[in-house]
Amino acid sequence: MVCEARGVTERSQAVPPVLARVPGQPTAVAFLAGAVARPHHAYVFAGPEGSGKAIAARAFVAALLCRAGGCGACRDCRLALDDRHPNGFVVEPEGRDIHVDTIRQEVWHPAYRTPAEPGRKVFVLREADRLSPAAADTLLKVLEEPPADAVFLLLSARAYELPETVWSRCHAVTFAPLPEGFVVDRLIEEGVAPERARLAARLTGGNLGRARRLANDPDGSAFRDLAARALELAATGPAGALAAAEAVLDAAVAYRRGLRAELDAELAPFLDERGRPEEAYRGAVRRIEVRFHRRERRAEREYVDRVLLAASSILRDRIAACLGVGSELLMNPDRAPEPVGSVPAAVAALASLEAARAELAEQINLNARLVLEQAFLLTAPTAVG
Ligand SMILES: [Zn+2]
C-alpha cells in the first residue's frame, strides 16, 4: 500500500519543529507531518544511503513520543533525537544480517509489553533489507497483529529487497538522493568553511551525515593521511606492504577504544549517583549497551573500510590525472595526485583494494590482517611513481 504525499501539505496545519529540521526532503517531511496525529502502524523509509532516512526517522520518532507532537526541545524530543528514548527501539544488523533472535528480543517481546514510560512505543529497523528470512517472518507476525500503541519504521536503501508480505503492511515514504550542491550549501549554512564543505561533500559522495561528521571532525582527514601513508609504505615493497596493513589495523583498534567515552556519555542520564541504572531504565540501559557492543564489534571493520576507500580514491585520482582529467573532477580536489608509473598497474591496484573492501564487507569472520596484507602486496609494484 503506497501512500501519496500529495494533498497532505494542505491538510496539515504546520510541520512540527522537529520535522522542519529534516534537510532536503520536503515531500517526505510533509507526509510525515500529516501522519503524526494518527500514525499508521508501519512505514518503510525507502531511499539511497545518505538521503536522510535516519535523520527523518529520529525526527518522526520524536514527534510520535513528544507530548506536543515534536517540539524539538523537551526531554522526550531530545532523547528520541539521540536514539536514547526508553520507548524508542533501534534495531540494526549484527554482522551482515538482522537475526531472528534480535527481532524476537528487541521487537516482538517489547512490542506486546507495557513501555517504560507512558505513551507509544516506536521501533526503528535500520537496513531492514538485511532481515534474515526467519527474522522477516517474525516481524511479519507483529505487523499482522500490531499492538495499538506501537509504530514500526523500516529503513532501507534497497527496499525492493523487502518481502512483498512485509511491504503490503507498510506505508511507503520515499527519499530522493541529495544533490552534492545541496550538501555543500547545508554545511556552509551550518558554519563550515566553503572549501571544507565542498571537500567533505565530494569525499562522502553527497552523504550528508558522513559529510557533516567529516567536516566537523578535527581528525576528519586522518583517514586520507593514513591511506596515503599506507600506499607509500606499500610502494617500498613486500615488507612495506605488511607494515601498511599493520598501520591500518593499529589505527582501527585505537578508534574502537576511543568509542568507550561515547558510551559513558550516552548512559549518564539513566544512571543514579552511584553509576547504576535507575530501576525504570534497566531495559533502556541494556539496549543502549547491546547496541554499543554491536557497534564496537563493527567499529574496526568500518574503520578499515574507510581507510581502504580513501586509498582507492587516491589511486583513482592518480589514474584520472594521468589521463588528463581536470582537478574539478578529482575525488580529493585539495591534493595534487602523484604520477603513476603505469595506468594498467594502477587500475589493477585499485581493483585489489576494492576487492578487499568487498571481501571484508561480505564475510564478517574473515581475518582482516590477511586480506589487508594481500591487498597492499598487490598495490606495491604499482604505487611507485
Ligand atoms: Zn518535544
- Rounded Cα gap, residues 124 and 135, in angstroms: 15
Place of cell 588528463: 324
| 36 CA distance to ligand 1 middle (Å) | 13
Instruction: List helix spans (H) across 82-207.
Output: 100-103, 109-111, 133-144, 164-167, 180-189, 194-203
Quote the domain boundaries for residue 122. 8-177
Count of domains for the chain: 3
Tell whether 277 is covered by a domain: yes
Tell whether 3 is covered by a domain: no
Same domain, 96 and 235: no
Same domain, 134 and 108: yes
Place of cell 540494526: 92
Tell whether 69 is covered by a domain: yes
Average pLDDT over residues 332-353: 86
Residues 273-313 have pLDDT tens digits of 777 887 777 877 888 888 787 777 778 888 898 899 889 98
| 80 CA distance to ligand 1 middle (Å) | 9
Q: Say if pTM beats, i.e. exceeds, 0.75.
A: no
| 232 CA distance to ligand 1 middle (Å) | 51
Same domain, 203 and 273: no
| 106 CA distance to ligand 1 middle (Å) | 25
Tell whether 131 is covered by a domain: yes
153 grid coordinates = 519504521
Q: Chain-wide mean pLDDT for the chain?
A: 87
Q: C-alpha 258: how far from its chain's center?
A: 18
Same domain, 375 and 314: yes
| 78 CA distance to ligand 1 middle (Å) | 7
Q: Is the pLDDT of residue 383 over 50?
A: no
Picking from 122, 150, 177, the residue at the C-terminal end of a domain is 177
Q: What CATH number corresponds to the domain at position 165? A: 3.40.50.300
| 206 CA distance to ligand 1 middle (Å) | 30
| 60 CA distance to ligand 1 middle (Å) | 11
Same domain, 158 and 297: no
Q: For a pLDDT cut of 70, what percent of the chain falls above it?
A: 95
Tell whether 1 is covered by a domain: no
| 15 CA distance to ligand 1 middle (Å) | 13
Same domain, 84 and 13: yes
Instruction: List strands edge to edge, sheet with 42-46.
Output: 88-91, 121-125, 150-156, 42-46, 171-174
Contact 42, 198 (CB under 8 A): no
Tell whether 43 is covered by a domain: yes
Tell whether 2 is covered by a domain: no
Same domain, 14 and 122: yes
Q: In the prediction, which pLDDT does 361 show?
A: 81
Which band of pLDDT confidence, cut at 50, 70 and 90, is reported for residue 63?
very high
Same domain, 229 and 358: yes
Place of cell 583513482: 316
Q: Is the pLDDT of residue 382 over 60?
A: no
